Structure 1
Amino acid sequence: MAGEAVLIIDMQAGILAEVPDADALTARLAGLADRARAAGRPVFVIQHEAADLVPGEPDWRLAEPIAPRDGDVLLAKRNADSFIGTDLDKRLRDLDVSRVIVTGLATEFCIDSTCRAALSRGYDLTLVEDGHSTPVEAGDSLLSVESIVARYNQVLSWVDYPDREVSVIPAAAITFG
């Protein structure tokens, strides 16, 4: 899998504040990104901008362990799909990336949209099973965060795109050979 890139989506203070177990998720993703960098794989850190995520404001800031390192690519987006309105596709193609490893927030919005968009653009997909989550406050949803994450892991593992490989695996099982 030499043509892999890690995408870390929307790991921002204002969203993480409402995510259960945010510190453990952040640590897992930071470790995965470090392993990717050590293996020479590109890491893309994608940061959402919106009415409640204004550049420069505290809620917009990335979690420190996720902040881009030398050689990482930082992209700003304004859509759930990380490809719309960004040069993500061009940058991935310029690096001969054939597989994206998707992580971050929020499962049913930006993670789902970006996964499906990557498949539609011809990329193989690895969704990090324990590498995405969503902010759900009590009473905000009939579903728990755990059930939302589990359901998307299941659904995305069933996705059938001809000539694409889709996998859903835990962060610790991802190796860069």
Structure 2
Amino acid sequence: MTILDNRPHSAVVVIDVQVDVMAAAHERANVIASIGTLVERARESQVPVFWVQHSDADMAQGSEGWRIVPELSQQPDEPVVHKRYGDAFEDTTLEDELLKRGIGRLVIAGAQTDACVRSTLHGAFTRGYDVTLVHDAHTTEDLSSWGAPPPAQVIAHTNLYWAHQTAPGRVAAVGSAAGVEFAS
């Protein structure tokens, strides 16, 4: 139901599952395993997988901490989007890459739930995409010492509110890595 014309295809977008970002992630091993399941299912269904990598002063592009976690393998034909802002659309090639492939529906996983995942969810939805959040394939670190809720609550709240997100002509949904539908 995307409002984007002539864009019937789906893609998986894996956000910032980088060594430094995932170092202190809540349920790290389980989330990485779920992302692995999601990525393999997408590949089997011939659904493109996009890898998003953040860089900034604390995580330089090309550094060891900037790399995708070793448990996940990016295929040579899978696009990589380099970003410097929370929303993976801001000042990146993501929109152009999706347009070239006729993609209007995104399945989103990665880190961090309360920052880049949330920013990209909203960025995609306001740009007209149908957006599915994979409830068992996103995570964040514990920021409760700065006043945030514990990570499990941040993740649960994001899953809850995204399941009820609405806008004209677009679909927001939540699904599992093993069961999410790639076609609308």
TM-score, reference length from structure 2? 0.90
- Does residue 72 (structure 1) correspond to residue 112 (structure 2)? The answer is no
Instruction: Report the alpha carbon displacement of residue 9 of structure 1 after superposing the two structures with TM.
Output: 0.2
Partner of 1:135: 141
AA aligned to 1:148 is: V
SS of 2:85's partner is coil
The two structures, once aligned, show a CA RMSD in angstroms of 1.7
Aligned counterparts, 1:56-135, within 5 A: 56-135=62-141
AA aligned to 1:28 is: S
Structure 2 residue ranges without an equivalent (≥5): 2-7
Partner of 2:32: 26
8 A Cα contact 2:133 2:174, kept in partner:
yes
Instruction: Report the alpha carbon displacement of residue 67 of structure 1 after superposing the two structures with TM.
Output: 3.6
- Does residue 50 (structure 1) correspond to residue 62 (structure 2)? The answer is no
| CA distances 1:31-73 after superposition (whole Å, capped 9, x unpaired) | 2111101111100000000111112222211112334213211
Distance in 1, matches of 2:144 and 2:29, equals: 19
Distance in 2, matches of 1:113 and 1:103, equals: 12
Q: 2:47 aligns with which of 13, 38, 41?
A: 41
Paired positions, count? 177
| CA distances 1:62-94 after superposition (whole Å, capped 9, x unpaired) | 112334213211111000000011111111111
8 A Cα contact 2:114 2:154, kept in partner:
yes
Say if 1:159 and 1:175 are closer, same or farther in 2 by CA, change over 3 A.
closer
- Does residue 157 (structure 1) correspond to residue 163 (structure 2)? The answer is yes
Distance in 2, matches of 1:7 and 1:56, equals: 20
Distance in 1, matches of 2:148 and 2:91, equals: 32
